[in-house]
């Protein structure tokens, strides 16, 4: 029961974090347009959001496996 609730909460937070991540914004990014740099270093809040997303994905996977076992 608690594993399912934790999965729901983590999935909602993951959806929010993924939507907050900035990808090639604008029409040129959607159509494959060129950017000024091929790779952009994450800094500040963008890096925190990225790391939190990775941590929550791992936590979600672990909870899914635990829910499958139990």
pLDDT tens track for 30-59 = 555 555 556 678 788 999 999 999 999 999
29 pLDDT more than 90: no
Q: What's the token pair of residue 24?
A: 């090639």
Q: What percent of the chain has pLDDT over 70?
A: 76
Q: What is the mean pLDDT of the chain?
A: 84
Domain ranges of the chain: 2-21+39-69
If we measure between CA atoms, which residue out of 22, 64, 15 comes closest to residue 40? 22
């Amino acid at each position: 029961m608690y594993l399912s609730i934790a999965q729901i909460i983590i999935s909602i937070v993951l959806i929010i974090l993924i939507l907050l991540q900035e990808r090639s914004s604008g029409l040129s990014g959607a159509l494959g347009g060129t950017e000024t740099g091929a790779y952009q270093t994450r800094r500040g809040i963008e890096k925190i959001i990225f790391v939190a997303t990775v941590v929550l994905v791992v936590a979600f996977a672990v909870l899914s496996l635990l829910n499958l076992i139990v």
